[in-house]
Structure 1
Amino acid sequence: MSVAPAQPPVTSTDPETLGWMRGFPPAPDRTITFQDGSFRSFPELRWAWSNIRQLVPTVNVWRGAGPASVLPREDHDIGAVGSTTMDGRPMTFEKMLEETYTDGIAVLHRGRLIYERYFGALKPHKPHIGMSVTKSFTGVLAGILVAEGKIDPQAPVTDYVPELKASAFGDARVHEVMDMTTGLAYTEVYTDKNSDVWGLRRANGMAPIPPDYDGPTTIFDFLVAQKKQGEHGKAVAYKTVNTDVLAWICRRAQRYDAVRSALRAHLAADGCGGGRILSRRPHRHRERRRRSLHHAARSRPLRRDHAQSRPLQRPPDRAFTGR
């Protein structure tokens, strides 16, 4: 039976200890770049995920002129709270953060910030890459457009994006994209460089394009090339391309950059300080968000108290179920 390799101690992966990207220019063995893919390697990514604006194009989304909402604090040291791991080891909350190479964490309880810690390259004022948390916000924005009558979940995808007619999405309905029940040949295995998700990363600007690469180099070309496998609506399968298509539908339903404009309305309603940062390259439909922990903590889905202080109509359940 194979034995998993031992994890390196957190101190040996700390960007501050390792001295990544210090000086100008940084030492060759301490340089992290997009072009060579080192920004995705471990432990380099512990610096990269907190400095992504230095590696890929980004754009700010203004939150509006209103004041930032109050984020009340009530500090509690929960670091000593104990639990048992899946392999039977006792572990404190603080130790868990260390063993999982956490960059930062903010814990809210009943609308109050009770615990906040930063490690490595992350600082309170710095945004951290949001990765697939972005999918949740894209889904919420789509739900709002459904509630406003601008998107019909039962409509064919091609009613909004006719360019997808010859693709796997050509006979899919919007709610199947929202629910990730489309039948796609696309694979999403992050540890397999031959998996389709790596083609998606090259197309959306989150992985370098090799010199001999002959695949799609824009998200538009990537999505229209998707092939069908199986039937739509039969089973849930987590595949990121569904969210990219959904963001494309949102943009068409709004007839302009819906993701950015609707996100701006969301930021204003939530009273988020400082707005948001989106990664950006031409033909990219689902921008990937970066946020500081305080920005994330101010997001409405995390704060029940916000419903009283800044009312905002919640999309009805049918907006997310397609019924």
Structure 2
Amino acid sequence: MNITLSKSLTATWVLGVLLSANVLAKAPQTPDQIPILPASAEALRGSAYGDFGRSWQNAPHNTTIYQQISRAFPTAVVWRGNGEVSHFEYNKQDLSKITFTNLKGQQETFQHHLDRTFNDGLLIIKDGKIITEEYHNGMKPHTRHHLMSASKSLTSTLFSTFVEDGSVELDKTIATYVPEAKGTAWEDVKVSDVLNMTSNVQYREEFDNPDAEVWAHESAVGWRNVAQGKPSTNREFLYSMNKMDKTDGKFHYRSSETDMLGQIMENVSGIGSAELFSQRIWSKLGAEEDAQCMVDREGACVVMGGFGTTLRDLGRWGQMLANGGKFNGLQIISQDWVNKVSTGDHEKFEHYTGMLPKGAYSAQFWIADNERNITSALGYAGQQVYIDRDINLVIVRLSTWDKPDYSYATDSYRAMEAISNHFRK
């Protein structure tokens, strides 16, 4: 595998900019339009090696499907627990006219950016109080919106509890915790390399290349129809992977690494990831609603991109991080882990600085600004959580972009930075 890649090209892999030209367009919807599930989710999945641009993940289907995943795919419930709901106070403020310089060099208001990039829900929390809360495109406060790869950061917070209690050590090999990995490409890979996506296991997140591993991966977890003779479960896919011919040891975005973290946690505990997330994270937040996780054909939670939550509940998770791991009167994850996911090795991030010039990647989190320790979760088509701990700011955005456009992600981060700068004055 050739790993010498331009910064902008590699960054686009993350969000699938290199899709076929056949991605369907969709018109903006008004808030009172209620999405209706297409007649056949199976038809949306299509051939495992067909036109990726016409899948359920893309326009015009994604606005509908992302808000109704449990009607289209098998999901596991992430129970909220039986505790009281932790309520937010409100201090409404109008931030819509805050401006930033977009990629085209133009001044753009925050509101205009949201309108042109298919925003479904927006939540801004300052000092623990909600200052902005909006729902669009049929989304409601009780709607569980699909998070795609923002799920990776939720998985990180769960994984932190295994590191904290000593049941997983980052300098051990994968085979230490997953005996099935012996004899596979994962056998001698360190847990820390999987956590930071710096392993030497080959995974190409190339959506324009049907031979890339991401296609077989999505087929294996049930996001696309299974190709005959190919892996039909997540585990089968992971154990079928190969080593890279060479690696530079730097961060390369690979969804397979997150699912291997899921394998570690399930092997160590003997409990499925959806239940683990409920026990260790979700039930402690005082969430209003159960969360959910898409599962593969074995019923295993697809932790690399399968979680779905409501807007406010995702805000509770983000506020927990802003509080140094504390929320609802509990220390849910360690302060050390929050520190870990707030800064990273910028030199290892060199292939992705086109999107985040001051960025880094650490333990399944995108560091939006490594100099100011601003961390974030990021998902395909615009699911984002932006956390500026210095000023106790949390921004949650749930979107279904009409196209997985690299420029949307960059401009979204610039818009959030403008909000951050507004409160840092």
Using the size of structure 2 for normalisation, the TM-score is 0.65
1:227: which partner in 2?
A: 242
Q: How far is the alpha carbon of 1:53 from its aligned partner?
A: 1.3
Specify which of 43, 54, 57 is matched with residue 35 of structure 1: 43
1:25: which partner in 2?
A: none
1:307: which partner in 2?
A: 326
SS in 2 for 1:34: helix
Does the C-alpha gap of structure 1 residues 17 and 196 become closer, same or farther in structure 2, counting only changes over 3 Å?
farther
Q: How far is the alpha carbon of 1:31 from its aligned partner?
A: 4.3
CA distance in 1, matches of 2:84, 2:272: 25
Q: 1:89-100 residue pairs with structure 2 within 5 A?
A: 89-100=106-117
Aligned partners of 1:138 and 1:259 also within 8 Å? no
Q: How far is the alpha carbon of 1:149 from its aligned partner?
A: 0.8
- Number of aligned positions between the proteins: 307
CA distance in 2, matches of 1:251, 1:8: 38
Gaps of 5+ in 2: 1-20, 46-54, 342-361, 364-425
1:160-192 deviation digits (Å, cap 9, x = unpaired): 111112221111111111111111222111343
2:169: which partner in 1?
A: 152
Aligned partners of 2:234 and 2:296 also within 8 Å? no
CA distance in 2, matches of 1:114, 1:19: 26
Does the C-alpha gap of structure 1 residues 171 and 231 become closer, same or farther in structure 2, counting only changes over 3 Å?
farther
1:43-77 deviation digits (Å, cap 9, x = unpaired): 22111111111110112121211101111111112
Q: How far is the alpha carbon of 1:316 from its aligned partner?
A: 3.0
Specify which of 160, 163, 175 is matched with residue 192 of structure 2: 175
Q: Does 1:296 pair with 2:304?
A: no
Specify which of 173, 183, 187 is matched with residue 166 of structure 1: 183
For the aligned residues, what is the CA RMSD?
A: 2.9
Aligned partners of 2:274 and 2:293 also within 8 Å? no
Q: 1:236-251 residue pairs with structure 2 within 5 A?
A: 236-251=251-266
CA distance in 1, matches of 2:58, 2:314: 25
Specify which of 106, 122, 127 is matched with residue 110 of structure 1: 127
2:377: which partner in 1?
A: none
Does the C-alpha gap of structure 1 residues 159 and 233 become closer, same or farther in structure 2, counting only changes over 3 Å?
farther
Q: Does 1:286 pair with 2:302?
A: yes
SS in 1 for 2:131: strand
Amino acid at match of 2:294: S
- Which protein is bigger by CA-based radius of gyration? 1
Amino acid at match of 1:271: G
2:346: which partner in 1?
A: none
CA distance in 1, matches of 2:65, 2:71: 8
CA distance in 1, matches of 2:24, 2:231: 37
SS in 2 for 1:39: coil
CA distance in 1, matches of 2:188, 2:141: 46
More strand by share: 2
1:95-144 deviation digits (Å, cap 9, x = unpaired): 11111111111111111111111121322211100111111121122221
Aligned partners of 2:98 and 2:109 also within 8 Å? yes
List 4+ stretches of structure 1 deviating above 4 A: 7-10, 15-20, 230-233, 317-322
CA distance in 2, matches of 1:151, 1:319: 16
1:140: which partner in 2?
A: 157
Indicate the larger mover: 227-236 or 275-284.
Answer: 227-236
Gaps of 5+ in 1: 23-29
CA distance in 2, matches of 1:216, 1:40: 21
Amino acid at match of 1:61: V
CA distance in 2, matches of 1:197, 1:169: 17
CA distance in 1, matches of 2:242, 2:266: 23
CA distance in 2, matches of 1:17, 1:192: 38
Does the C-alpha gap of structure 1 residues 208 and 18 become closer, same or farther in structure 2, counting only changes over 3 Å?
farther
CA distance in 2, matches of 1:231, 1:188: 17
Amino acid at match of 1:35: A
Q: How far is the alpha carbon of 1:265 from its aligned partner?
A: 2.6
CA distance in 2, matches of 1:75, 1:254: 43
SS in 2 for 1:176: helix
Using the size of structure 1 for normalisation, the TM-score is 0.85
Q: How far is the alpha carbon of 1:9 from its aligned partner?
A: 9.1
SS in 1 for 2:189: coil
Does the C-alpha gap of structure 1 residues 222 and 315 become closer, same or farther in structure 2, counting only changes over 3 Å?
farther
Specify which of 232, 235, 244 is matched with residue 217 of structure 1: 232
Identity rate, percent: 22
Amino acid at match of 1:208: N
Does the C-alpha gap of structure 1 residues 301 and 34 become closer, same or farther in structure 2, counting only changes over 3 Å?
farther
Q: Does 1:66 pair with 2:66?
A: no
